[in-house]
């Protein structure tokens, strides 16, 4: 999304045009969602995910500082055993009545090879910390997700990705990893050692065991020129094939009810640093929300006002190391559905998604994110053997998000989409079996590693056990 603060005339000016409607909306619909109690009847503390829609009361919380501590805890702790990173998954992957494991004490770069441009990294390392740590040794991850608060282990487990026609998701650059199993064994997994486990558990949902570290194939640290510009969204969609072929990192955000898209590109450059300014995306979102609050019931007027506000806006340029530019702070909470489609189906599906939102859901104001991801060979990767185009639809955390299931998901499924493992979807075992050619092979390996199902919470039992 564009970081230009003046994408809107400002909340005060908008309110002058329709303050009564905005106030009425806030009074009726803008209340803070209720929170579960801080403790349950047994005195166990609440765990809740970032957006607030997933929660549980773990019987035990466990933060090992080493593999030895982890192994001992896995043997002795009550199941289900679930690992939590930043809690940015919207699906119930983490909730457990058993043991909640944090790897925050198992973080940092272990060692690196300056010639091969590889680094061994502990799984608890947050992506936001990994960027500067790799830069200090002259390396970078060329593809980072939109948000960098996740732990490395959580990002691998859910198939987290960035964008770029020739760039794979984070797990696609994993050369090897170490896995702690339910029995307390530590397995080294790579194409040479335990190759089937390497293929099955690289995107493993935390259901095969606990990934303790990973070896990453990185690239030389380079400076990027990141450009953000507003364009007509339909023209941007038509130009998408050229844009993907031209830019190293590229994505765009369709802004509903405005006919506009924010196009974001990033390419290597030798130009001097032009620092990124202060984060203003959250204020832009709140301005879009105010526009929705005031003019939501009259989409034509909403579109007219947005057109007047956005016309003539200049592009924004910034130049710096990639880890400073590819991810963005997202303090405004939301719930999200994202599917990864065969790339040739992406724009047709996007057109239908925008049309159904603009015809039936005038309350939507979050931009719709469009990205591209290269294929890889991890068996449970949404990008397995398929060049993919992703579509992500967001709902403000205070707003009803049922429309994602009722209106958006049927479109994305009809076009052959595979859901992001950490983002909202209603799919079950048989649905995933039809989408993943090596589904049964992966699950057989999972059963071998965890025959007692100690890593399976109720949701994962439904998804990973037939019937």
Q: How does pLDDT run across 11-24, given as a tens digit for each residue?
A: 444 444 444 555 55
Residue 459 in this model has a pLDDT that exceeds 90 = yes
Residue 378 in this model has a pLDDT that exceeds 60 = yes
The pLDDT assigned to 28 comes to 59
Q: Are residues 332 and 264 in the same domain?
A: yes
For residues 281 and 328, the answer to whether their CB atoms sit within 8 Å is yes
Helix, strand, or coil (residue 59): coil
Q: Are residues 85 and 16 in the same domain?
A: no
3-class SS letters over 316-366: EEEEEEHHHHCCCCCCCCEEEEEEEEEHHHHHHHHHHHHHHHHHHCCCCCC
Distance CA(94)–CA(55), nearest Å, equals: 8
| 54-58, 81-85, 463-467: segment of lowest average pLDDT | 463-467
The pLDDT assigned to 328 comes to 86
Segment (H or E) for 411 = helix 409-414
Residue 299 in this model has a pLDDT that exceeds 80 = yes
Percent of the chain scoring above 90 in pLDDT: 88
The pLDDT assigned to 30 comes to 83
Q: Which residues pair with residue 371 across a beta bridge? A: 390
Q: Are residues 334 and 195 in the same domain?
A: no
Average pLDDT, the chain: 93
Express each pLDDT in 254-297 by its tens digit.
Answer: 999 999 999 999 999 999 999 999 888 889 899 999 999 999 88
- Alpha-carbon dihedral of residues 280, 262, 383, 458, nearest 10 degrees? 50
Residue 5 in this model has a pLDDT that exceeds 60 = no
Q: Are residues 407 and 261 in the same domain?
A: yes
Mean pLDDT of 365-370: 98
DSSP string, 7-53: GSS-HHHHHHHHHHHHHHHHHHH-PPPP---SB-TT-PBPEE-TTSS
CATH number for the domain harbouring residue 307: 3.40.462.10
Mean pLDDT of 370-380: 98
- Measured from the Cβ of residue 347, the count of other Cβ atoms closer than 10 Å reads 19
CATH number for the domain harbouring residue 97: 3.30.465.10
Q: Are residues 107 and 48 in the same domain?
A: yes
Q: Are residues 289 and 331 in the same domain?
A: yes
The pLDDT assigned to 11 comes to 41
Q: Are residues 248 and 367 in the same domain?
A: yes
Distance CA(371)–CA(165), nearest Å, equals: 9
Residue 50 in this model has a pLDDT that exceeds 60 = yes
Geometric angle at alpha carbon 360, from 357 and 364, rounded to 5°: 50
The pLDDT assigned to 7 comes to 45
Q: Are residues 212 and 264 in the same domain?
A: no
| Strands 249-255 and 368-373, bridge-based pairing | antiparallel
Mean pLDDT of 217-222: 98
Cis peptide bond prior to 80, omega within 30° of 0: yes
Mean pLDDT of 153-173: 98
Nearest alpha-carbon partner for 432 in 373, 363, 384: 384
Residue 3 in this model has a pLDDT that exceeds 60 = no
Distance CA(394)–CA(334), nearest Å, equals: 6
Nearest alpha-carbon partner for 214 in 378, 19, 42, 396: 378
Q: Are residues 120 and 263 in the same domain?
A: no
The pLDDT assigned to 286 comes to 93
Predicted confidence band of residue 467 (pLDDT cuts 50, 70, 90): low
Q: Are residues 447 and 407 in the same domain?
A: no
The pTM assigned to this predicted structure is: 0.94
Distance CA(409)–CA(431), nearest Å, equals: 13
Residue 1 in this model has a pLDDT that exceeds 60 = no
CA within 13 Å, CB half, 360? 12
Q: How far is CA 305 from CA 2, 40, 70, 293, in A?
A: 18, 48, 56, 13
Express each pLDDT in 383-441 by its tens digit.
Answer: 999 999 999 999 999 999 999 999 999 999 999 999 999 999 999 999 999 999 999 99
Distance CA(112)–CA(185), nearest Å, equals: 25
* Burial (0-12, 13-18, 19+ Cβ within 10 Å), 128: middle
The pLDDT assigned to 330 comes to 87
The total number of structural domains that make up the chain:
2
The pLDDT assigned to 23 comes to 53
The pLDDT assigned to 296 comes to 86
Q: Are residues 93 and 136 in the same domain?
A: yes
Q: Are residues 328 and 217 in the same domain?
A: no
The pLDDT assigned to 260 comes to 96
Q: By residue range, what is the domain housing residue 433?
A: 32-221+425-467
């Amino acid at each position: 999304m564009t970081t230009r603060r003046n994408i809107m005339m400002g909340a005060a000016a908008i309110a002058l045009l329709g303050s009564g409607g905005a106030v009425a909306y806030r009074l009726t619909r803008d209340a803070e969602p209720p929170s579960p109690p801080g403790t349950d009847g047994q005195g166990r503390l609440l765990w809740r995910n970032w957006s607030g829609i997933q929660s549980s009361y773990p019987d035990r919380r466990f933060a090992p500082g080493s593999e030895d501590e982890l192994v001992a805890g896995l043997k002795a702790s009550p199941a289900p055993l679930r690992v939590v990173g930043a809690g940015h998954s919207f699906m119930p992957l983490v909730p457990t009545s058993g043991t909640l494991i944090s790897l925050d004490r198992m973080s940092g770069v272990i060692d690196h090879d300056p010639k091969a441009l590889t680094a061994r990294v502990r799984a608890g390392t947050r992506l936001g910390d990994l960027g500067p740590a790799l830069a200090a040794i002259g390396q970078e991850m060329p593809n980072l997700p939109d948000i960098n608060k996740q732990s490395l282990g959580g990002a691998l487990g859910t198939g987290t990705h960035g964008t770029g026609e020739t760039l794979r998701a984070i797990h696609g650059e994993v050369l090897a990893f170490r896995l702690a199993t339910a029995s307390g064994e530590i397995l080294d997994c790579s194409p040479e050692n335990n190759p089937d486990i390497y293929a099955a558990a690289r995107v493993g949902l935390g259901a095969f065991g606990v990934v303790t570290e990973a070896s990453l194939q990185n690239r030389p640290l380079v400076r990027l020129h990141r450009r953000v510009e507003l364009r007509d969204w339909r023209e941007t969609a038509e130009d998408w094939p050229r844009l993907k072929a031209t830019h190293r990192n590229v994505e765009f955000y369709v802004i509903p009810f405005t006919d506009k898209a924010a196009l974001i590109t990033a390419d290597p450059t030798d130009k001097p640093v032009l620092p990124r300014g202060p984060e203003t995306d959250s204020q832009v979102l709140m301005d879009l929300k105010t526009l929705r609050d005031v003019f939501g019931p009259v989409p034509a007027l909403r579109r007219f006002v947005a057109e007047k506000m956005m016309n003539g806006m200049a592009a924004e340029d910034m130049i710096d190391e990639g880890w400073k530019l590819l991810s963005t702070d997202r303090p405004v909470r939301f719930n999200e559905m994202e599917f990864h489609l065969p790339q040739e189906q992406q724009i047709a599906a996007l057109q239908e998604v925008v049309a159904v939102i603009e015809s039936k859901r005038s309350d939507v104001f979050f931009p719709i994110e469009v990205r591209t991801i290269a294929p890889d060979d991890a068996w449970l990767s949404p990008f397995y053997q398929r060049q993919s185009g992703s579509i992500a639809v967001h709902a403000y955390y205070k707003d009803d998000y049922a429309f994602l299931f009722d209106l958006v998901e049927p479109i994305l499924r009809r076009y052959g989409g595979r859901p992001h493992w950490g983002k909202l979807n209603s799919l079950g075992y048989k649905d995933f079996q039809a989408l993943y050619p090596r589904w049964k092979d992966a699950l057989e390996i999972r059963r071998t590693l965890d025959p007692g199902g100690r890593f399976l919470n109720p949701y994962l039992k439904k998804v990973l056990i037939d019937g």
